[in-house]
Amino acid sequence: MSIGRETADLILAEARAMIEESGDNAFRVTELASRCNVAIGLLYHYFKDRDGLIAAVRESQFLAHIESDVAMLSNIVSHEGDLDAVLKILVDDFSDPRNKMRNEFRLDRMDALVAARHNPDLLQRLTEAEARLTAEIVATVQQAKIDGLVDPAVDDKALAFMLEVIPLGTALSNVYGDYMPDPEAWRALLTRMLVSLLPPS
């Protein structure tokens, strides 16, 4: 990694920490420069302006961990073609509503979506990022069809959408209280749904 990339990543990480601590309104570029021990001019060398910094933070929240998840799923489908391994990662990892670390990732993605609600530039940035991500998921779905893991009749985009919607939606576990399903019942339902996507025997 180049020195420039390392510096930009350091600035972005510190900006994200500040925004997650205090929110967008309290974010001060002068404080960021001080924390990073760099001149304000250097910040603007890597990021257009304050809004650009905030947008970069929101994009990093939106993509954090999901990119590596998609790469992991793609690797399992491409190199193993193992239904049990695919089910394990989708059901026991990606869609586990009781996984506290994953819940944080999901809420970060939602934070970014909420921030884009009245910010057309950020919305466009997240839309472009999501397009890149979805293209990878669709390619993985297509490979799964070739490997006999998914019925060719299943729509690629519909399945790609479902594979993101279900894990993100499990963030509702934060407020579901006594109505949270039993872990085994949830696992059984997800497994049943995913197995139904197999090609007809």
pLDDT digits (tens, 9 = 90+) for 89-146: 999 999 999 999 999 999 999 999 999 999 999 999 999 999 999 999 999 999 999 9
Residue 48: predicted pLDDT: 86
pLDDT at residue 1 tops 60: no
In the chain, CATH 1.10.10 covers: 3-47
Could you confirm whether domain 62-195 is CATH 1.10.260?
Answer: no
In the chain, CATH 1.10.357 covers: 62-195
Residues 6 or more apart whose Cβ sits within 8 Å of residue 42: 7, 33
Residue 23: predicted pLDDT: 84
Mean pLDDT score, 168-184: 96
Integer Cα distance of 183 and 84 in angstroms: 18
Q: Which amino acid is at 197?
A: L
CA 173-136-116 angle, to 5 degrees, is 55
Integer Cα distance of 18 and 35 in angstroms: 10
pTM for the whole structure:
0.82
- The domain defined by 3-47 folds into Arc Repressor Mutant, subunit A (1.10.10)
pLDDT digits (tens, 9 = 90+) for 16-64: 999 988 888 899 999 999 999 999 998 988 998 998 899 999 898 888 8
Q: What band does 78 get if pLDDT is binned at 50, 70 and 90?
A: confident
pLDDT at residue 3 tops 70: no
